[in-house]
Structure 1
């Protein structure tokens, strides 16, 4: 199977409210020999306020936000086509499952493209950061993990690369293409120095394997950020087939076996040791047999007989499994749905096949025909996104009344003083003040960059207030 290695640079950290501004993808064969390379930049959509902290980190200057050759919709279409043409492949990056993947999913969702494109047509997902953590736990001699400024191990891409002889300077870091190329070189390095662990983790990128392991009832080792924990799978989530609950076998089951489902729910978020672990089997969990990983446990944790005895008690309990399944199903039952469509990817239901086909027609049609296609969507979220995209990318196709309504929405979104979940211009200007207070005085270039960001934000704020 081939690989698609990718990286995004984004407008901020919250996937629902931010977008990719830069993307790079490298398609390789199974031996990690590059077959194709894509590097893309897009203009900032008018309804998004970029995080000043993100701009400062990536080095992107305000004028670059407006001068890129592509619109966001155009860039996302290129990415979607590249993913489709490379299938089936393992789609991989560095910290992509937790971050880049979420940003990409939400961007696809709000731009009428398949949100789960990295899992369609035989694709599977992997994350090189997960592999690095697994190697650090299972084969620590194979990889150098440096200490960061706080004295703790640093798993940042640049730090890991430089510690292992791979060139990625601070100036190059946070450029999508440079990060993607460095990820490819690091991937090759891991395959050479830790082939067994890498092969194990690539196998776990297929959700079927962790599903079978957890269903088998054997004592397993689950990897976290820095250590392995003995666990046993108990039950799949009745409402999400790729979510499993396992229990930490270092905790005496007597403390939770008799609890009703309502009290089990509290165990998921309690402070200290949490006896219940949720595992996403479609997110490449670090999950290995006890035999493969027991050498990485602390000496006082190597007690397979105890873990087998506890696992048997859990399996044989009359009601714990069903109570835990009920707790999984009801865990978020009291969560209020978001009133904002871009925050409803997971809570608003899957898109229908008819709407997916209509979305493809929407993209393939001239703007003059798109309003009629959008009117036929059965999902109200898609109608809202189609209206927004028309305002942002083809305002000339709107009626005068529609254009005025769209401009009023845009002004309110950007300048509101209300407590909204996205970044507004006033909140971004406040963030600039905080950043300036924390920047060392001798960092002249970064202060100049921050000044430019502040001027741009003030210009945007002034424009929309005058327009109002």
Structure 2
């Protein structure tokens, strides 16, 4: 349930957050449901997992209806695409490996021409945006392929946690059209991105 990551980042107070064996917050369903009042769950039991998921969904829907509605809307890839392509800064919430979920603020940075469900997301906190907008092709390619990524990939058909950003960001480049607007560059996995800033 990716929605759990959005809850952690936006409204953590609505849930109890259990600790794992390593002493860090656990996002495993069996621990989360137990900490949040569903004690009959048997881990890895298909029906039990469904019941546990319904229990957690009910809590989130009741206690954070706005987040719930936004996450439900993100099941529609057209809505995700329109949010990202709105021209406004958006918030992406993801979890990598065993780290806790975190929020990234960014803007649309192009569409993979080989797979229209893959959009680029320019992380505004990881770069100076004015240096990326008119950057050379090799710099743009590095922004997609090197770690940490400056341009991340978002799969619109994989229910990403993406929201119009409530933070007020002064990003004047959104109002400008770069002469590189229609230029494309090769990214690390063989697709091509038209730069969408």
Name the TM-score class by shorter chain: 0.7 to 0.9
1:309 to 2:172 alignment: yes
Report deviation, 1:326: 3.0
For the pair shown, which has the larger CA radius of gyration, 1 or 2? 1
1:174 to 2:39 alignment: no
In terms of mean alpha carbon deviation, does 207-216 or 247-256 score higher?
Answer: 247-256
**Structure with more helix by fraction:** 1
Report deviation, 1:261: 3.1
Cα distance in structure 2, aligned partners of 1:242 and 1:260: 25
1:142 paired residue number? 14
**Structure with more strand by fraction:** 2
Report deviation, 1:180: 1.5
Q: CA RMSD in A?
A: 2.1
Report deviation, 1:197: 0.4
Please say if residues 158 and 168 of structure 1, whose CA atoms lie closer than 8 Å, have aligned partners that are also in contact: no
Q: How many residues align?
A: 185
CA-to-partner distance for each residue in 1:243-277, whole Å, 9 max, x for gaps? 111201122024434443344233223233x2101
For 1:256, what is the secondary structure of its paired residue? helix
Q: Which runs of 5+ in 2 are unaligned?
A: 96-100, 192-197
Return the match for 1:256 from 123, 126, 132: 132
Return the match for 1:327 from 183, 186, 195: 186
Cα distance in structure 1, aligned partners of 2:189 and 2:76: 27
Provide the TM-score with structure 2 as the length reference. Answer: 0.83
Measured at CA, do residues 193 and 235 of structure 1 come closer, stay the same or move farther in structure 2, by a change above 3 Å?
same
For residues 57-72 of structure 1, the aligned pairs below 5 Å read none
For 1:234, what is the secondary structure of its paired residue? strand
Please say if residues 90 and 165 of structure 2, whose CA atoms lie closer than 8 Å, have aligned partners that are also in contact: yes
CA-to-partner distance for each residue in 1:74-125, whole Å, 9 max, x for gaps? xxxxxxxxxxxxxxxxxxxxxxxxxxxxxxxxxxxxxxxxxxxxxxxxxxxx
CA-to-partner distance for each residue in 1:198-251, whole Å, 9 max, x for gaps? 111001111111111122211111111212111111222112111111201122
Measured at CA, do residues 232 and 219 of structure 1 come closer, stay the same or move farther in structure 2, by a change above 3 Å?
same
CA-to-partner distance for each residue in 1:1-51, whole Å, 9 max, x for gaps? xxxxxxxxxxxxxxxxxxxxxxxxxxxxxxxxxxxxxxxxxxxxxxxxxxx
- Report runs of 4+ in structure 1 exceeding 4 Å deviation: none
Cα distance in structure 2, aligned partners of 1:151 and 1:212: 40
